[in-house]
């Protein structure tokens, strides 16, 4: 049985874990949330990189993971390349905003991108966006909106804040496009945001497609591990670890994934984040 580590700054990576559980039912999962230092999107690149490397070290040394899914767009943007150099023998799968699938879906070529400030400001995101725009046979416009506070509101399960922030950021994307009906596709560029899908769907309406990366990441993980088809196996509850409040992660896993296990404290020797 393969042991797969799944890492996010907080509870957002549970959206990726949900897809992984469906795609790889025979695997054992260890989910690590660095909730004591969330959200990553408003931290420095150095801070994010240091946290990502240290947590990967702990998951490898203490939990024997065979592969790692970095289920955080900001951590992928700032840390995945050096992380692969640090662990050359371990498959590492990252997440990136689903710009390419969104471009294929869009009829108008106007695509909204909701993401953290850290993701949108990264060189990795800029390369991905620019490559797609150059390669496209038609004009594409990506209307990129940093969503300060939204991941934190989802962490807290603060529905009034989620509602007001989603209203603000959808309005800003529409304003950038210059026409209420120009944007027909919106990328959810943070793994937290699928947990606001109902709110965003109501705000955007049925004519706007909302695109996230969970299923694609799960399939990529299966391919990297060389599993040709889902393995028949009894379901094993993921091990849930957090640097923050175990109750908060437990409740999120119960609420969104129907998991029954109780979260535990992640290794106490983790260095504190740089402020």
- List the catalytic residues: 72, 190
* H helix intervals, the chain: 14-23, 45-63, 73-86, 99-105, 117-120, 123-135, 150-156, 159-177, 197-204, 214-224, 246-257
**Cα-based distances in Å from 266 to 28, 154, 270, 271:** 17, 21, 8, 12
Residues 84, 62 contacting (CB under 8 angstroms): no
> Which token pair is 116?
């953290």
Cα angle value 87/88/93 (rounded, 5°): 75
């Amino acid at each position: 049985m393969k042991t797969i580590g799944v890492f996010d700054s907080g509870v957002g990576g549970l959206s990726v874990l949900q897809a992984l559980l469906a795609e790889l039912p025979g695997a054992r999962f260890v989910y690590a949330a660095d909730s004591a230092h969330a959200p990553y999107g408003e931290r420095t690149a150095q801070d994010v990189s240091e946290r990502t490397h240290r947590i990967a070290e702990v998951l490898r040394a203490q939990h024997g993971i065979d592969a790692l899914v970095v289920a955080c767009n900001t951590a992928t943007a700032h840390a995945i390349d050096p992380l692969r150099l640090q662990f050359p023998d371990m498959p590492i799968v990252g997440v990136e905003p689903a710009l390419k699938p969104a471009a294929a879906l869009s009829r108008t070529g106007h695509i909204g991108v909701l993401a953290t400030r850290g993701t949108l400001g990264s060189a990795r995101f800029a390369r991905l966006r620019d490559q797609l725009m150059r390669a496209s046979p038609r004009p594409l416009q990506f209307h990129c909106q940093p969503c300060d506070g939204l991941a934190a509101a989802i962490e807290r399960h603060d529905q009034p804040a989620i509602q007001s922030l989603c209203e603000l950021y959808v309005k800003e994307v529409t304003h950038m496009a210059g026409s209420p009906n120009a944007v027909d596709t919106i990328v959810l560029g943070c793994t937290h945001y699928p947990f606001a899908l109902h709110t965003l769907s109501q705000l955007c309406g049925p004519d706007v497609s909302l695109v996230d990366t969970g299923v694609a990441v799960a399939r990529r993980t299966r391919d990297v591990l060389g599993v040709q088809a889902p393995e028949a196996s009894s379901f094993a509850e993921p091990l849930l670890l957090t640097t923050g409040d175990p109750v908060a992660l437990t409740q999120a896993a119960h609420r969104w994934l129907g998991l029954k296990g109780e979260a535990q404290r992640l290794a106490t020797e983790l260095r504190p984040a740089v402020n």
